[in-house]
Amino acid sequence: MKILVTVKRVVDYNVKVHPKADGSGVETANIKMSMNPFDEIAVEEAVRLQESGKATEIVAVSIGVSQCQEVLRTALAMGADRAVLVETDAILEPLMVAKLLEALVEREQPDLVILGKQAIDDDCNQTGQMLAALLGWGQGTFASKLTLGEQEIEVTREIDGGLETVALKLPTVVTADLRLNEPRYVKLPNIMKAKKKPLETLSPGDLGVVPMTQLTTLKVAEPPKREAGIKVADAAELVAKLRNDVKAI
């Protein structure tokens, strides 16, 4: 069983982002970047499947600028065996990421692809579903539990009303939700070891894909700010205000 796992380099979740002065995009110069949190969960799950003897090889993939090597090294330090960077400066919509991943899947022939459910920069929540569509595979999205069998994988999915469990034929696509696992901290010796693991760089052209976009960002702005209100002394005052001033109860 071979697993392909995707890692996106995004603005760290603790950083507050701002629009560029001219409103043309998001200011990302000189700010802390990290692995997308959902992708840490995806890598962790792959590593656990390998540690339990169910997976034999884990290939981590990132698509983007050359600095994406950093998140790939983190994935290698967590336990991935090798890494592939599809290097490009192009603006990547999820459909294009999915097309590049489709080409990589043809090349690597994994039995399982694990992605994060959502990138916390674009908040799209699309790439896994798109990849599954292009491959004609099933999609176990928003996964909070995986049980791997021989021909099938059972995926418990977080849905609006609770949980749903489905069995998907392998090979298949899974997207990781927050409660699938808790990612490990990488230890220093593993960071050192990761430096020696193979990291291959490809271009979109190597995969026969020409990046293109269908969206133009016209403007990026901050939403209207909400003003802080007042402090009230106790529950009695709160109830009086809610009843009399704003008629909310």
Partner 1 sequence: MKNILVIAEHDHATLKAATLNTVTAARNIGGEIHMLVAGSDCAGAATASAKIPGIAKVLQVDADHYAHHFAEDLAVLIAGLANKDYGHVLAPATSFGKNLMPRVAALLGVTQLSDIVGVENADTFVRPIYAGSLLATVQCSAPIKAMTVRGTAFAAAASEGGTASIETVPPAVPLGVTRFIGQELTKSERPELTAARIVVSGGRGMGSSEGFKLLEDIADQLGAAVGASRAAVDAGFVPNDCQIGQTGKIIAPELYIAAGISGAIQHLAGMKDSKIIVAINKDEEAPIFQIADYGIVGDLFKVLPELSAELDKLPPA
Ligand X SMILES: Cc1cc2nc3c(=O)[nH]c(=O)nc-3n(C[C@H](O)[C@H](O)[C@H](O)COP(=O)(O)OP(=O)(O)OC[C@H]3O[C@@H](n4cnc5c(N)ncnc54)[C@H](O)[C@@H]3O)c2cc1C
Please choose which of partner 1, ligand AMP, ligand X, none residue 188 contacts, taking the beta carbon within 5 to 8 angstroms, the exact cut-off set by kind: none
With beta carbons less than 8 A apart as the criterion, state whether 138 and 173 touch: yes
Residue with tokens 């190597």: 206
The partner residues of 145 in beta bridges, in order of sequence, read 156
d(CA 66, CA 224): 36
Closest to 15 in 3D by CA, of 2, 1, 28, 24: 28
The residues in 180-199 that bind partner 1, with binding defined as CB under 8 A, are none
Name the residue nearer to ligand X (CB basis): 189 or 229.
229
User: Three-class SS of residue 104?
Assistant: helix
Binding site for ligand X (CB under 6 A): 13, 37, 120
User: If you ran DSSP here, which 8-state letter would residue 241 be given?
Assistant: I
Amino acid identity of residue 196, one-letter, is K
The residues in 69-128 that bind partner 1, with binding defined as CB under 8 A, are 93-95, 98, 117-118, 120-128
Closest contact distance (angstroms) between CB of 154 and partner 1 is 6
Name the residue nearer to ligand AMP (CB basis): 36 or 50.
36
Single out the residue of 21, 29, 188, 246 in contact with partner 1 (rule: CB under 8 A): 246
Closest contact distance (angstroms) between CB of 187 and ligand AMP is 24
Could you tell me which stretch among 40-48, 74-82, 107-115, 240-248 binds partner 1 (CB under 8 A)? Answer: 240-248
Please choose which of ligand AMP, partner 1, ligand X, none residue 6 contacts, taking the beta carbon within 5 to 8 angstroms, the exact cut-off set by kind: ligand AMP
Number of other residues whose CB lies within 10 A of the CB of residue 132: 23
The pair phi, psi for residue 167, each rounded to 5°, is -110, 130
d(CA 142, CA 159): 8
Binding site for ligand AMP (CB under 6 A): 6-8, 36, 38-39, 42, 61-64, 92, 94, 97, 115-116, 118-119, 122, 124-128
